[in-house]
Structure 1
C-alpha cells in the first residue's frame, strides 16, 4: 500500500499523484474489533518493514472488470465528487476493484461471490484470473469508502489513495499459504486497534487507524454513506476535511 511519506524531490515540477487504493479489513467476531495489518518485505525500497493495510496503485483496466454487485450509490458519488473534471464511473470502479485485487495479491484473500464456472475475466491480469479460476466475481457492495490521503508535493512518489473498509465475513476464499502471491506483505496479523497503533506504521496509517476506530465506535454496522475523512497538504500544512 502507498503511504504519505515526505522525501526530497529534485524535479522542477511536482509530480501528479497516481490513483491508489487500500482495503481495511475488520474482524467483528470478538468483543473488540480487530484489523488486518501486514509488514512490508524488507527488500522493498519504499517503506521496508513498515506495517500497512493491503493496497497498491490502481490499474485503469480494473475499471472494466465485471462485479457481482456494484458500489453503493452514496460511496460512488463521494468518489466521483473528489475527482473533479476527471470523474468517470469507470475510474471510481477501478479504485474499488483495485482495493479488492491488491488484497488478494498481498494477503491472499478473495472478496467476491460465486459465479458461473469457467467465466473469463475481461482482463488478463493474473489476479483476476485467480478469481475466475475459483469461480468468483469481485463484490463491490461490501466496501465502504471511508478516507482519502494525498502524498504531499516534494515526494519522489506521490499517490492519491482512497481507503475502503469491509468486514472479514466478506472474504469468500483465501490462499492456503496465508499470504498473497506477490510476497509484498509478511507477518499478516489480525490485531486490536491498540496493538496495531503500537506497531512501526507510517504516520498516515496511524492517523487512519484512529479515524476508523472512532467510526466503528460510533456506528459498528458501517452503513452506506459514512463520513469520508480527507488529508492533503495545502499551503505547507496538512488539512483534514470531512465530506
Structure 2
C-alpha cells in the first residue's frame, strides 16, 4: 500500500500531519484459547472516553517501560524467541527484549486482570507489579511467542514500534474476577479469530489477526522461532518483511 492509501484506511483511527516522531517501543498480547478446531482470542473494547481509538476492540497492550526488564521471572524468553526479538533490524538488546515481553504481561494484568506466570512467591517494590505479589504469581516469559511487528507510519501524533506477542490461556496462573486495576478496556470478550477480524478493530489489528490465523493453520502449537511478519513504511509504501 502507498502512504496515501494507508492514510485513507487509518484516517478515522489516527490523527495525521504530526511533526516527525521516533516510534516508542510498545508490546501487545494475543491471548489464545483453543476449543477443538477453533481458536479464540481475547479482545477488549477501548473506553469510549479515550481520545486514541475510542470504542475500538484491541488486544491488551501499551507502551514499554524499560524498568520492566528488571522484574524477576520464573523463566526467561526461549532462545528462539529472544533471537527474533533481538535481530539487528529491531535495535533491541536482550535486556530490551525482556522489557518488551514483560510489558506485554504487565499490560495484560492491568487491562484484563490476567496474571501470566507460575504460582509461587514473588516480591518487588514496583507498584504496577504488586498484583503479582499479592496473588502469588511469578511472571514467566517461557510461553510467549513473537508473532508480528509493526511500526506506526510517519506523520502520526503517536508512533509505536509494536511487538505482537502471543500466549495461551493455559499460561494464565490467576484470573482476577474483578478484572484489571485500570479503566482502559470496558468490555472483554473471547472471539473466534475470524469473528475478531470482522469486529470494529484498527486496520493493523485486522492484519495481524489474519497473520496469526495463517500461522496457526500451519502450526497449531505455535512452536518457537516461527516466521514473524514485520510491517513498516519504506519509501512512502507500507511493506511487509519476514523476520
Q: TM-score, normalised by structure 1?
A: 0.92
In the alignment, what sits opposite 1:201?
Answer: 201
In the alignment, what sits opposite 2:84?
Answer: 78
In the alignment, what sits opposite 1:25?
Answer: 31
Q: Which residue, out of 54, 63, 74, partners 2:69?
A: 63
Q: How does 1:45-64 map to 2 (within 5 A)?
A: 45-64=51-70
Match of 2:102, SS state, is helix
Q: How does 1:153-192 map to 2 (within 5 A)?
A: 153-177=154-178, 179-192=179-192
In the alignment, what sits opposite 2:7?
Answer: none
**Offset at 1:82?**
4.5
Q: Which residue, out of 120, 123, 126, partners 1:124?
A: 126
Which whole-Å CA distance do the structure 2 matches of 1:66 and 1:9 have between them?
41
Q: How does 1:79-94 map to 2 (within 5 A)?
A: 79-82=85-88, 86-94=91-99
In the alignment, what sits opposite 2:212?
Answer: 212
Relative to structure 1, the CA distance from residue 113 to residue 200 in structure 2 (aligned partners, 3 Å threshold; closer, same or farther) is: same
Question: Are the aligned partners of 2:115 and 2:132 in contact in 1 as well (CA < 8 Å)?
Answer: yes
**Offset at 1:29?**
2.8
Which whole-Å CA distance do the structure 1 matches of 2:18 and 2:221 have between them?
46
Relative to structure 1, the CA distance from residue 180 to residue 28 in structure 2 (aligned partners, 3 Å threshold; closer, same or farther) is: same
Q: Which residue, out of 114, 117, 141, partners 1:109?
A: 114
Which whole-Å CA distance do the structure 1 matches of 2:24 and 2:204 have between them?
17
Match of 1:223, SS state, is coil
Q: Does 1:16 align with 2:22?
A: yes
**Offset at 1:9?**
3.0
Match of 1:142, SS state, is coil
**Offset at 1:83?**
5.2
Any idea what the Cα deviations from partners look like across 1:55-104, whole Å, max 9, x if unmatched? 000001000001110101011011111555x4321111000000100000
**Offset at 1:113?**
0.4
Runs of 5+ in structure 2 lacking a partner? 1-9
CA RMSD in angstroms, aligned pairs only:
1.4
In the alignment, what sits opposite 2:140?
Answer: 139
Match of 1:141, SS state, is coil
Question: Are the aligned partners of 1:6 and 1:152 in contact in 2 as well (CA < 8 Å)?
Answer: no
Which whole-Å CA distance do the structure 1 matches of 2:188 and 2:34 have between them?
17
**Offset at 1:30?**
3.4
**Offset at 1:241?**
0.6
Which whole-Å CA distance do the structure 1 matches of 2:242 and 2:99 have between them?
23
Runs of 5+ in structure 1 lacking a partner? none
Which whole-Å CA distance do the structure 2 matches of 1:6 and 1:241 have between them?
23
